[in-house]
């Protein structure tokens, strides 16, 4: 009998009492109404009730929780702010959910070494706010940056709008403290610009709480740019806007941000917050250029020229900070704005080579008609990172099934054009099936070997991120049947 099976057979009894003893009864939630808010993350179609929720105050609480779960063979899922979009923080049924949100202190900001040390519950935006006094900021900025926490950012390897030039989380974190399932504290990385041994920092990023629990993060801060200028370009077709993205990069410019919105996203956002977008455009690009003023001026000229020759119907340069902010506010509120158009929405996440963006957007349009669902697109075009937002009504009987099928078709199309099923939201439960399409059995086997080596009892965030080989084979057979059915 495996550890998890023996736990399910009742051998994990006494874990709640032991946690109360170790951590304090007031930090352990078990009552139904107290646990309910923790049943899902920001992908609420997947819910599960944990046996208990542990509200950790510090690393000692985390170590104590890990040790007890390890000793009693009880599954342990870690949750930060709960803003994840792939159900990575959905609790395991009758397991322990460890919440690090209350570990929310910035431990230090060092302007000399341009670093900050933070507990995992510190919100992404708080890091930049704290660093601003020193003329510094933390670059990765997910759309949820006012609510998402840095521990979760590391676990998911979060991206954001400004990652094209400055990289995603893994490029901006220097060190971690990580608690293993048996309660050992590892210091990974450090203040040096190189590290001895295997790159465990890379391994920890995007490991979705399956290998360890992050208790401290040291981030790299960078100087606030001397100048930032913002361009907005309107296009009469999605294809022309997509091609302009490649043309900008071809011209030798790496903008700080390069975002795209299609007509549905534009109209929803415009109605929601009057950002000043052109309602008659089929697509718009919003482009940030930053750096030394001479650098920005040179690149502005280049980009304006490229946009003109790429068929932009109008190119505007934000005249002041207020207009810039308004354009960006629109982009950052696009998800809630689109959310108002239908009772439910579901945002997916795939990355494709930039030159295939146009093909993928056209394919999404065709798929959406097949399943009779509307899809809006607002995404990080410079990275080729798409975020199709599927609108639906969950009360319609088969709506969720159709959404899942449409999402699967889109993600598998991303793989077919040389891309990936997730650029920044993570696999979690949501894209568990598509792992079987992106990876071979040998590759899944290598992932499982890593998991087995570092969490031999399989207690950390079970049944997420890496599917079993049996699951992969089942899913591939199922999809083959579906595709044959569609073709026939």
Sites for another protein among residues 195-254 (CB under 8 A): 195-200, 202-203, 205-207, 211, 222-223, 225-226, 246, 249-250, 252-254
Does 469 participate in binding another protein (rule CB under 8 A)?
Answer: no
Stretch that binds another protein, among 4-12, 101-109, 295-303, 397-405 (CB under 8 A): 295-303
Give CA–CA dist 134/109, Å, rounded.
Answer: 9
CB of 186 to another protein, least distance (A): 5
Nearer to another protein, 60 or 243 (CB): 243
Nearer to another protein, 9 or 470 (CB): 470
CB of 459 to another protein, least distance (A): 16
Stretch that binds another protein, among 117-125, 293-301, 310-318, 321-329 (CB under 8 A): 293-301
Give CA–CA dist 41/97, Å, rounded.
Answer: 12
Contact 303, 231 (CB under 8 A): yes
Footprint on residues 84-123 left by another protein (CB under 8 A): 112-114
| Spatial CB neighbours of 92, under 8 Å, sequence gap ≥ 6 | 48, 50, 75, 76, 77, 461, 462, 463
Stretch that binds another protein, among 7-15, 25-33, 122-130, 437-445 (CB under 8 A): 437-445
Nearer to another protein, 19 or 465 (CB): 465
Q: CA 450, 454, 457 angle in degrees (round to 5)? A: 105
Footprint on residues 370-429 left by another protein (CB under 8 A): 380, 383-385, 418-427
Give CA–CA dist 153/156, Å, rounded.
Answer: 5
Q: Which residue carries 């979690």 as its tokens?
A: 428
Does 305 participate in binding another protein (rule CB under 8 A)?
Answer: no
Exactly one of 9, 31, 133, 442 binds another protein (CB under 8 A); that residue is 442
Nearer to another protein, 1 or 449 (CB): 449
DSSP labels for 245-281? HHHHHHTT---SEEEEEEHHHHHHHHHHH-----TT-
Contact 159, 424 (CB under 8 A): yes
Give CA–CA dist 234/285, Å, rounded.
Answer: 7
Does 430 participate in binding another protein (rule CB under 8 A)?
Answer: no
Footprint on residues 249-278 left by another protein (CB under 8 A): 249-250, 252-254
Question: Residue 84, SS3?
Answer: coil
Which CA distances in Å does 89 have to 44, 96, 103? 11, 11, 17
Nearer to another protein, 86 or 104 (CB): 86
């Amino acid at each position: 009998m495996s550890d998890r099976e023996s736990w399910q057979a009742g051998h994990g009894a006494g874990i709640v009492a032991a946690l109360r003893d170790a951590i304090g009864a007031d930090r352990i939630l078990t009552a139904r109404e107290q646990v309910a808010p923790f049943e899902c993350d920001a992908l609420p179609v997947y819910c599960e009730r944990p046996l208990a929720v542990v509200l950790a105050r510090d690393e000692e609480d985390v170590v104590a929780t890990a040790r007890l779960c390890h000793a009693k063979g009880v599954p342990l899922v870690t949750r930060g702010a709960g803003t994840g979009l792939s159900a990575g923080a959905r609790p395991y049924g009758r397991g322990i959910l460890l919440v690090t949100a209350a570990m929310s202190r910035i431990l230090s900001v060092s302007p000399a070494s341009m670093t900050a040390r933070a507990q995992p519950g510190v919100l992404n935006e708080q890091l930049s706010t704290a660093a601003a006094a020193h003329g510094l900021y933390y670059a990765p900025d997910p759309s949820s940056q006012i609510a998402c926490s840095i521990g979760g950012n590391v676990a998911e390897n979060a991206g954001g709008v400004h990652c094209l030039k400055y990289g995603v989380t893994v490029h901006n974190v220097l060190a971690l403290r990580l608690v293993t399932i048996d309660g050992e504290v590892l210091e990974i990385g450090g203040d040096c610009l190189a590290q001895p041994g295997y790159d465990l920092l890379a391994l920890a990023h995007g490991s979705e709480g399956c290998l360890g629990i992050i208790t401290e993060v040291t981030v790299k801060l960078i100087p606030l740019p001397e100048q930032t200028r913002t361009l907005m370009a309107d296009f009469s077709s999605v294809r022309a806007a997509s091609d302009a993205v490649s043309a900008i990069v071809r011209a030798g410019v790496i903008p700080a941000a390069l975002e795209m919105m299609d007509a549905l996203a534009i109209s929803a956002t415009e109605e929601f917050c009057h950002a000043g977008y052109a309602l008659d455009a089929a697509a718009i690009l919003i482009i940030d250029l930053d750096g030394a003023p001479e650098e920005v001026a040179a690149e502005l000229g280049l980009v304006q020229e490229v946009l003109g020759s790429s068929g932009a119907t109008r190119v505007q340069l934000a005249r002041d900070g207020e207009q810039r902010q308004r354009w960006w506010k629109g982009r950052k509120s696009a998800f809630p704005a689109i959310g108002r158009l239908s009772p439910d929405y579901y945002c997916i996440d795939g990355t494709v080579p930039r030159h295939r963006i146009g093909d993928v957007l056209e394919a999404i349009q065709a798929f959406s008609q097949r399943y009779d669902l509307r899809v809006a697109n607002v995404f990080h075009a410079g990275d080729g990172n798409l975020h199709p937002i599927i609108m639906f009504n969950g009360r319609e009987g088969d709506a969720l099934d159709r959404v899942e099928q449409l999402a699967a078709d889109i993600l598998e199309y991303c793989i077919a054009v040389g891309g990936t099923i997730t650029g920044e939201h993570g696999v979690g439960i949501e894209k568990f099936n598509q792992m079987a399409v992106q990876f071979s059995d040998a590759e899944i086997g290598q992932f499982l070997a890593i998991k087995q080596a570092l969490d031999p009892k399989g207690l950390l965030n079970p049944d997420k991120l890496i599917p079993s080989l049996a699951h992969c084979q089942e899913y591939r057979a199922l999809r083959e049947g579906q595709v044959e059915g569609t073709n026939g």
